[in-house]
Structure 1
């Protein structure tokens, strides 16, 4: 009995901690979305690759705002991006409050005074640290709060966007992956699914668990990872980027 009681208590404490982290995340996200430094960064298209021009920047923003729009009230149909961020910030705060009440953590507080460094470079690092490095799967969703799905869907898309921007601005730590990115054409990226490479593949590479290789569709940006040489057999029409051997083969 003691074992089961202790296990139950540990599970309850773990759940309570996850809920508290989620409330904190939602409230901090609300602050960040309204922050002028975040908005200045959002408008800045600066990147380290020639393939990242205005067309790619527009594509990434368009994909993001399509998902943010799904969470918007009907009266925000004609609002600009920042007005929609304002509305999403309110929705994040509402979700945090609802979750606090539902979980009986009414005194839970996020970093209400969350600030970003004055230095532009330090501020960008803080944005990447908060969103790009976010442990998304540790956050708690109840799946039954009003409007919850659309808010989390919008936040997921913001994280995807920020991770892609992170890749365009900063190295991933894998020379083969970064070399491959530097050689891509902007038209190639915008014709397909740039988040495949810039967000999802890059996040895997950054985690230190890079796949054996990434297979690229040569006609438009679409990828999938393979864990061994044998998985590449029969795909001569694709481009193989071997991440563990720092070589590129067609």
Structure 2
């Protein structure tokens, strides 16, 4: 479906759309309440919104009438009201992690000139649902629909670091039975514990020539509003070109784009497992 564009002026440049300044000013009050996540007195709220209390108060009165803000009868402090909660929940219900992540993945692939894959947790394990290729595609055994190993790929390990332990243990044991056969106790090994702890500490996973020789990977989790891992964004490139350093230029780009998606999904920086 085509997106409507702003009308053009006689000079051919897009005309600036009409804006209502009072709404934009009032949003500074709501933004301050949202960012602080606690009831605020009028003076502090006005200061955070960048306006004098006498200017902030009429906005608060209007927002209270609309249910966007409520005031404590005991302290007189202001906080977000029931209408703001309903609006936030409605926005979250409309969000689709893959849709939100797809644009960032495409931007990252173009910016870094590397392959970028998005994977979700499917019934067989980490599953590739999108793959953006650079100008010169890297020939790897990866395509949309590929199911990745839980512990033999960096993408799988990042999922394992943030998913609930019983879920990961069940998937790993099932994978071991299908590939190797017999019993498996790998999840409880010190090496696995150290590996997952390192991913949580750095917030990313890094693999050199893994799972394919000569190919490096760097993976970052994307979280939803509840702090749960929603998907993993993976950068892939040849060893001689892509060093996959977590704190290098590519790592910073990946962290930036994955963080953009997490914020759009309502993530506040706290994770759950």
Give TM-score, length-normalised by structure 1. 0.23
Give me the TM-score of the superposition, normalised by structure 2.
0.22
Higher strand share: 2
Report the structure, 1 or 2, having the larger helix content: 1
